[in-house]
Amino acid sequence: MVELDHKNAYELLVATILAAQSTDKMINTITPAVFAKYPDPTALSKAEPAELEPLIFKSGFYRNKAKHLVGMARAVVAHHGGKIPETMEALTSLPGVARKTANVVLGSALGKNVGIVVDTHVSRLAERLGLTQQTDPVKIEADLMELLPAAQWTDFAHRLIWHGRRVCFAKQPDCDHCSLAPRCPSASTIRETSPAKTKPITKTKAAKAPPTQARLSRPRSLPAKGRR
């Protein structure tokens, strides 16, 4: 499941545009204030980019994102009656919306398996798993779509993204705890090239002096309740 908090297609579209060059965790701290002030495309279409910038500053590239968000909302109102369109062609005609963003909205908010989301995680894992030799996201998506039935496209992307964020990291993938390692053609190579894990150096404990009578008679302190 997509990790951007949303209640409808509009909110997911806004959140996905904001998530470019940022993290879902960060965007989820920003969007509540945005959605409170601009609850739908009509409200957002009446704003000026400068009004939006302070709310989305932490997302990075906030000036361009503000322009895209306001432009998107105005296009939705002008050409789609204030409703988020439900086709790839219509979505990608909106300012700030490329194919990846359209796939996120179509698959996760509108229930339409039109394509496969290809972000940095999907690109990396698809290559490591030997599912593609392409580097261009559009070509990677085409290869993956040929391998899977359409009904699985959205869920497959979610699984790869989840796995890429928690196990198959870009720099030091955790192959030792990866359930896909037995089937992954890259696992053995990654293990061989990973830096050797060394045990931490422990200091030799100095001999303790025998306890004094006062220390022997002092009751032990009990651990605080609930502490782990």
CATH of the domain at 19: 1.10.340.30
Q: Can you tell me which residue has the tokens 């030091």?
A: 172
pLDDT 10s digit of each residue in the chain, 228 long? Answer: 899 999 999 999 999 999 999 999 999 999 999 999 999 999 999 999 999 999 999 999 999 999 999 999 999 999 999 999 999 999 999 999 999 999 999 999 999 999 999 999 999 999 999 999 999 999 999 999 999 999 999 999 999 999 999 999 999 999 999 999 999 999 978 877 766 554 444 444 444 444 444 443 343 443 444 434
Q: Would you give the DSSP letter of residue 57?
A: G
Report how far residue 68's alpha carbon sits from residue 59's, in angstroms, rounded to the nearest whole number: 13
Q: Can you tell me which residue has the tokens 């990608």?
A: 92
**Residue 86 is assigned to a structural domain of this protein:** yes
Report how far residue 24's alpha carbon sits from residue 164's, in angstroms, rounded to the nearest whole number: 14
25 and 58 together in one domain: yes
Report how far residue 208's alpha carbon sits from residue 195's, in angstroms, rounded to the nearest whole number: 38
103 and 130 together in one domain: no
100 is catalytic: yes
Q: Beta-carbon neighbour count of residue 58 at 10 Å?
A: 13
Domain boundary among 179, 195, 219: 179
**Residue 201 is assigned to a structural domain of this protein:** no
Cα-based angle 207, 212, 214 (whole degrees, multiple of 5): 140
45 and 24 together in one domain: yes
State the residue range of the domain holding 19: 9-108
Query: With a threshold of 0.85, does the pTM exceed it?
Result: no
Choose, from 5, 119, 143, 155, the residue flagged as catalytic.
119
Report how far residue 133's alpha carbon sits from residue 185's, in angstroms, rounded to the nearest whole number: 13
5 is catalytic: no
- Joined together, the tokens standing for residue 41 give 């495309």
**Residue 1 is assigned to a structural domain of this protein:** no
